[in-house]
Amino acid sequence: MNARGSREGGRRPGRSAGERAAFPARVADTIRRYQMLDGGDTVVIAASGGADSTALVHAVADLRLDLRLSVHLAHLNHALRPDAGEDAAFVSRMSAALGFPYHESTINPRALAVEEGLSLEDAGRRLRYEFLTTLAEEIGAQAVATGHTLDDQAETVLMRLLRGSGLEGLGGIPPARAEGGVRIVRPLIEATRAEIEAYLKSRGVEWREDSTNRDPAILRNRIRRSLLPALEGYNPNVRQALARLAVLVRDDAEALGRLADAQIAGTLSGGPGVVRIQLASFVHLHVALQRRALRAAVQRVHGNLHSLRFVHLEQARQLALEGHAGSWLSLPGGVRLMRLDSDLEMIAGVRVVQGPGEYRLSVPGRIVAIEFGVQLAAEELDDQDGRMDDHVRSGAAGRTEILLDGSGLGESMILRGPRRGDRFAPAGMGGKTKTVADFLSDAKVAKHRRAFTPVLTTDGGEIVWIVGLRAAEAAPITPATTRVVRVRAWPLRA
């Protein structure tokens, strides 16, 4: 961050004391409207050193006597920029000047981002709230205050709209919410960034400018610097309109949630760690209620909905409606959803394994393999009039279905991912073998998808099909074949 204030944002002449006091008064109105703080509360203010959090600190400093608040400042160093230490020093000096206790910690969001497949921004946000709420609990604070503004609200709504969020996502940033036993409050949520900077300049207060706010690789920055200004050409008050949309959607989502809770209550049982979903009830719910039931189950078993996306809910619904007993799905945060005979079981704290699971395909039978994005069906055929050989030569075999001599297959086959050292004899290569790894490379399968390319084997482990790509020459149909097995594959719906 670069320092701003005396050079770019120093005191401007002509500002009256009344004008400088107007901003804290508006903040006090927001605090009262959303019942963010009570008289006598201890509050932790998340202070990055930027304009928003610096304005929040000074506004609360003006209000603390009237609201009878005990105030602590907390700064989390993400150690992502060379000048990050200067931000911490800036907040420490501000804290000392105002007489507030100061708390600081350093984190490594990159490690969490890699471990759980998060963006650096999402990983930093999660660690930041963990630090703030843990600190609040340690010092007995009732609330954590962050510097989110009306501009942040508008940007968040647009980001989530672009990502295809549902009602909860389009509700944006709530003015106040509970995080365990601590309230997370946003006293600046009705103030624009322009108003905040004007307030700081009127008081001659400096702040730090984060250089990453200009990085065009970050979606929020592109929305802030390009999309919102363009939308203002259609509606000069688009930021206020988006913030108002968030309020309306959030209220509707809360009302719908209360109505839905009564309908899905009998579908879920259990608590933190393990939750059961009764399929007999789940399958009769409206699709919107099915998604809410799954979200509620994840919230109950895991404690939050971090990184849970629409695609995860659809995969979970597909497992519930079309999966077979024993099939399972990994969800974000180490949550596993297992299909049982008459229930779904959701378990938290499961160590995420690298690569997909393994499925047993009975003959006849059908499986839904969520990780591979495919469903398979096996059946026995009676037709032995020669048309099968024509079918095999037609080119359909290997992509959507294969025909096998079932005499050596037994009663089931195995669907799994590729393993180190796997070899097979691709159909049409005269019996020459090739490693599966080389085959996938030659077939231009992206590296990150190769571990999730489905491989069908006999019960004894012989590869008969790289599903969707090439059949093997294993178990070929011959004039002596007496049992023909057809295996067909369909991609799962998006």
In degrees, rounded to 5, the angle at the alpha carbon of residue 114 between the alpha carbons of residues 110 and 117 is 120
User: What pLDDT does residue 83 have?
Assistant: 78
List the domain boundaries for the chain.
2-232, 269-347, 359-491
User: What pLDDT does residue 123 have?
Assistant: 83
Question: Mean pLDDT in the chain?
Answer: 86
> What residues pair up with 269 in beta bridges, in sequence order?
276
Share of the chain above pLDDT 90, in %: 52
User: What pLDDT does residue 10 have?
Assistant: 36
pLDDT in tens, 285-309: 999 999 999 999 999 888 878 778 8
Q: How confident is the model at residue 5 (pLDDT cuts 50, 70, 90)?
A: very low
Q: How confident is the model at residue 6 (pLDDT cuts 50, 70, 90)?
A: very low
pLDDT in tens, 153-188: 999 999 999 988 888 889 999 999 998 789 999 999
User: What pLDDT does residue 68 have?
Assistant: 94
pLDDT in tens, 99-125: 999 999 998 888 777 766 667 788 888
Residue with tokens 């992509």: 399
Q: What mean pLDDT comes out for the span 376-401?
A: 62
Say how far apart CA 342 and CA 345 lie, in whole Å. 10
User: What pLDDT does residue 356 have?
Assistant: 62
Q: Which amino acid is at 362?
A: S
Neighbours of 385 (CB within 10 A): 8
pLDDT in tens, 407-426: 878 788 999 999 888 999 99
Between 429 and 205, name the one with better pLDDT.
Answer: 205
> What residues pair up with 484 in beta bridges, in sequence order?
381, 405
| Matching CATH number, 269-347, of 3.40.50.920, 1.20.1250.20, 3.40.50.300, 3.30.465.60 | 3.30.465.60
DSSP secondary structure string, 154-166? HHHHHHHHHTT--
Residue 43 scores a pLDDT above 90: yes
pLDDT in tens, 202-237: 999 999 988 778 888 788 999 999 999 999 999 999
User: What pLDDT does residue 475 have?
Assistant: 82
Residue 386 scores a pLDDT above 50: no
User: What pLDDT does residue 18 have?
Assistant: 56
Residue 317 scores a pLDDT above 70: yes
Quote the CATH superfamily of domain 2-232: HUPs (3.40.50.620)
User: What pLDDT does residue 392 have?
Assistant: 44
| Chain-centroid distance, C-alpha 256 | 22
Cα atoms in the 13 Å half-sphere on the side-chain side of 74? 27
Residue 318 scores a pLDDT above 80: yes
User: What would the two tokens of residue 79 be?
Assistant: 């150690």
Supply φ then ψ for residue 227, to 5 degrees: -70, -50
CATH, range 359-491 = 3.50.40.10
Q: What mean pLDDT comes out for the span 257-264?
A: 91
pTM assigned to the model: 0.67
pLDDT in tens, 131-142: 999 999 999 999
Residue 190 scores a pLDDT above 90: yes
Residue 36 scores a pLDDT above 90: yes
User: What would the two tokens of residue 161 be?
Assistant: 């709209």
Share of the chain above pLDDT 70, in %: 89
Say how far apart CA 162 and CA 339 lie, in whole Å. 33
User: What pLDDT does residue 273 have?
Assistant: 80
Q: How confident is the model at residue 11 (pLDDT cuts 50, 70, 90)?
A: very low
Supply φ then ψ for residue 61, to 5 degrees: -60, -40
